[in-house]
A = this chain, B = another copy of it.
Amino acid sequence: MALSELSDRFRFILVRTSHSGNIGSAARAMRTMGFDGLSLVAPNRFPDPEATALAAGADDVLGQAEIHGDLVEALAGTTFALGLSARRRGVTLPELDPREGARQALAAARRGEKVALVFGNERTGLENDELSRCHAMVRIPSVDDFSSLNLSQAVQVVAYELRTVMLAEESTAADIQVPEEDVPADAEQVERFFEHLARTLDDIDFHKGRSPVTIMLRLRKLFLRARPDLRELRILHGILADAQRMAQLAGQDQNKSRT
């Protein structure tokens, strides 16, 4: 199923939003994640230039927004509703984190259901009566002493989770293609580099009489961890060759001056 077809089964419902700027920011947040179904329940002010400004180009989302008098009306046609809540509540609803909420919402959408994601007023959240219309509660795992996300941030997190779960389910079998040059070099090619490195360390008199074994082991470990590709190995070989050339020049001239 196309992602866009699946995304069309979700509706973001903002209830009694005070600041119209938040409606705009929420529209933008939804749009970045591929959602455009927005419903507004008794917004304080809409349409509003502040909403349009903060939508930052997600005008289509604002233009198609449905406006309703109460949540019951806004939920018409949906079959699965998740209510966002910052606090743990007295309501005896299952409490999900956003990831598990996204999984359940997506499973419903795949069955052809229409899913509602319900966000309360900035200050007061959802009323218990409104939460009781929802099938589960989603709590974004904020810290206890600073638990209140901005409304559009909560919308962003939920929209992001939905899209991430969708993409993860979609790509399970997909092979990742990488450009040929980025394929790590094979063991033989890497060995040739280590041989060249060992010879160069001798040539530039790096060991100064100490055993080269430990150093080479450490360098092996470092470069094996990096998993160089062929292009990178070519650069490294080039550097070693130039260092050897310098050593040779130095040595030849030293020899000359000795004779």
- Report which A residues bind B (CB closer than 8 A): 25, 28-29, 31-34, 56-58, 92, 97-99, 140-143, 146-150, 152-153, 156-157, 160, 163-164, 167, 182, 201, 203-206, 215, 218-219, 221-223, 225-228, 231-232, 235, 238-239, 242-243, 245-250, 253-254, 256-257
Contact of A242 among B143, B205, B239 (CB under 8 A): B205
Residue from A148, A225, A242 with most neighbouring chain B CB atoms (10 Å) = A242
Give bound CA distance, A163 to B256, whole Å: 67
Give the residue of B204, B225, B249 whose beta carbon is less than 8 angstroms from that of A239: B204
Q: Select which of B143, B167, B218, B246 is within 8 A of A204 by beta carbon.
A: B246
CB neighbours (8 Å) of A28 from chain B are 149-150, 153
Measured in the bound complex, the distance between the Cα atoms of B249 and A245 in whole Å is: 12
* CB closest residue in chain B, given A61: B146
Verify A142–B33 contact, CB threshold 8 A: yes
**How many identical chains are in the complex?**
2
What is the distance, in angstroms, from A200's C-beta to the closest C-beta of chain B? 8
Most buried by B among A56, A153, A205: A153
Q: Are B141 and A163 in contact (CB under 8 A)?
A: yes
Which of B32, B97, B149, B228 is within 8 Å of A222, CB to CB? Answer: B228
Say how far A221's CB is from chain B's closest CB, in angstroms: 8
Q: Taking each of A92, A164, A219, A243, which has the highest tally of chain B beta carbons within 10 Å of its own beta carbon?
A: A243
Whose C-beta in chain B lies nearest to the C-beta of A205? B242
Question: CB distance B153 to A29 under 8 Å?
Answer: yes
Whether A222 touches B215, Cβ cut-off 8 Å, given contacts A143-B32, A205-B242, is no
Least CB distance, A85 to chain B, in whole angstroms: 14
Q: How far is the CA of A25 from the CA of B151 in the complex (A)?
A: 12
A231 nearest CB neighbor, chain B only: B218
> For residue A143, which residues in chain B have a CB less than 8 angstroms away from its CB?
31-34
Q: In the complex, A122→B227 CA distance in Å?
A: 35
